[in-house]
A and B are shown apart, each in its own frame.
Chain A
Amino acid sequence: MSKSETKVEVKGKFNKKLFLHRLRYKFIGYNVVDGIGSRIVTYVILIAISYIFFYPLLKMASMSLMSPNDIINPEVDWIPENISFANFKAAWYVLEMPKTLFNSIWYSGTLAIFQTIVSAMTGFAFARYNFKFKNFWFTMVLISFIIPLPIVIIPRIMLFTSIQSSTGIQLIGTIIPQLILALFGQGINSAILILIFYNFFRMIPRSLDEAAHIDGATALQVFWHIIIKLSIPTIVTVFLFSFVWNWNETYVTGTFLRGAIKLLPMQLSAFDNVFSDLAPQIPGQASVHRINEAYKMAATLISIIPLLITYAFAQRQFIEGIENTGIKD
């Protein structure tokens, strides 16, 4: 009844207050969400920010196609005058491409496998068992994420070099030091991986493994047959994260490898120096010019393409993985 009354009133004479109110509603909305105006603003901001996100990548793609003349030419901003793929050829050669790519894949892959296994075990311990000092150790997991790497890396180096010199087994320059670190849950960003597993395992009902225990399964059997098989998607997510992070890691890797195994990101960071040595030998190119932005950007693009492909196929796993680190409500 009252509703129709107000309507009539509005129709009868122009109600300025109500009109403004409606205008405001249309434009801004009550929830900041529904107005047209705020919607347009939202899109503008998001698109502008996306542009800034992509800017370095776009710039990289554009520069990588430029000839040396285009780089110097101030009139060429985005689109090169004569597109050349010569930069890629040179960068491919200097990066020692197929070899470094395969090195990177097996290196990060191996580390990722061990990191995933140990993170799963640690996450499982925290999610399933009420052992003594559990909260304390869990806090330690979180704190271990904050501890800066430089402060722990020096004794690690000393440890591995002294083992190497006393036993004669080659450790520095091989995957072994990092493999040991990964095996003991001290690889890159381990705390995040443990958190992902912890939050997933907590969601699996306990009654499942209690039933298995009653049927005489051991703890390890429960872990393997029930928990692991239920959590294949989470395992894939953690493996992908670990793979990408190990791939991109240059600090610890550089310290332990010292260039003995040529990995893609390492080769990219050494690109400027290696270029001048290798450039004269590049086959099929009569005159390779001095190093310039085009070569660098072509090399950078080559080095991130494997990651871009991984992301294209697995972006959902990546984003959901971080959601599962679950800051609890």
Chain B
Amino acid sequence: MRKSKKILGRGKARRENIRGYAFLAPWLFGFLGFTVFPLFYTFYLSFHDVKMTVLGWETNFIGIENFASALLRNIEFTPALVNFALMEIIYTPAIVLISFILAILLNQKIRFRAGFRVIFFLPVIVMSGSVMHQLMDTGSTEIVWVGQIFIFKIIHSYSPLLARVIEILFQNFSILLWFTGIPIVLFINGLQKIDRSLYEAAQIDGSSSWQSFWKITVPIIKPIALVTTFFTIVQLGVFPINPVNSMIQDAIYNTAGGLGLASAYAYIYSLVMGLIILIAYLLLKDRETVTVTTVKRGKKKKKEKEEDFLYE
């Protein structure tokens, strides 16, 4: 009896494996062939001189030449990269914070709630690189010219750095808001899943709404904040407000520099991107649950962590 059950179980596991991988196959091959392989191949290319010949692609090893020309010889790449990093660092917290606040406001029982949500989501549909480019080009995104506001001048005289940050924020404030479309929906979705009775219990225990917000809402929302942060970082990289993307594209088209140089660009860019994502992860990861699982589960810690990541 026991034996037959075991065989049945094993058969089932095998079937699950076969069927699972059968459905997964297209994605799996695509992922390995069009994402994992290119990831390594771009790395290989970045140390080579790549030329299109009659016989196909020809690669010659040239060491770190491409990286040298990217970082030292090309005077445009490094500033573009710095601009990109600055933009990510300034825009991302702003976008996540604004969308969180808007989500809280929209989560209340107010009129025209659906209408506001429709408005805030509209940019997700409309926003494309070319539309954004045209809007910024014609100055349709500049709502206020902060340089002329009195308070800004005061700030500027005290701290030029802060003033610069504010200037960057407000330069394309509409465009910045246009990135909040999906984060708002994610945040609202998270807020609605919080059990109301938690707040009631806290209120009975004498917690003010301010305290409840910090002690209940914020910790529960944190994983969602992490996801929206990742999403925002990625999205900011895709659109033409990111100067590096267009540089890489130019390098791809440009036959003189070749694809090797473009690969070096792409790798440096991706490293910066990865670094920003890592910083975001370290800042927002849930420390408490990790420590709890370490204490409680001991050996299962690693698996738990993996699962945590999935659920985030």
Contacts and interface: CB of A to CB of B under 8 A. Distances in A.
Whether both chains belong to one complex is answered with yes
Nearest to B129: A250
A156 B34 contact: yes
Given A139-B309, A323-B185, A323-B189, A154 B266 contact: yes
A223 to B, nearest CB: 7
Contacts of B41: 154-155
B177 A251 contact: no
Interface residues of A, number: 102
A148 B237 contact: yes
B39 interface: yes
B125 A154 contact: no
B60 interface: no
Contact of A271 (B134, B238, B306): B134
Nearest to B187: A327
A318 B118 CA distance: 10
B101 to A, nearest CB: 8
B130 A269 contact: yes
B205 interface: no
A181 B193 CA distance: 36
A293 B22 CA distance: 53
Contact of B119 (A53, A122, A140): A53
Interface string B213-235: 10000000001100100100010
B24 A266 contact: no
B311 interface: yes
B248 interface: yes
Contacts of B110: 39, 42-43, 46
Interface in B45-93: 45, 50, 52, 56-57
B56 A166 contact: yes
Given A247-B128, A322-B186, A181 B42 contact: no
Closest 8 CB pairs of A and B: A184-B30, A131-B20, A129-B20, A248-B128, A185-B27, A125-B23, A269-B130, A155-B38
Given A190-B27, A307-B126, 12 more contacts: A42-B110, A45-B105, A121-B27, A130-B20, A151-B39, A155-B45, A162-B57, A293-B139, A296-B138, A300-B131, A322-B182, A327-B224
Interface of A: 29-33, 39, 42-43, 45-46, 49-50, 52-57, 59-60, 63, 118, 121-122, 124-126, 128-132, 134-135, 137-142, 144-158, 161-162, 165-166, 181, 183-186, 190, 194, 219, 223, 244, 247-251, 254-255, 265-266, 268-269, 271, 293, 296-297, 299-300, 303-304, 307-308, 310-311, 315, 318-319, 322-323, 325-329
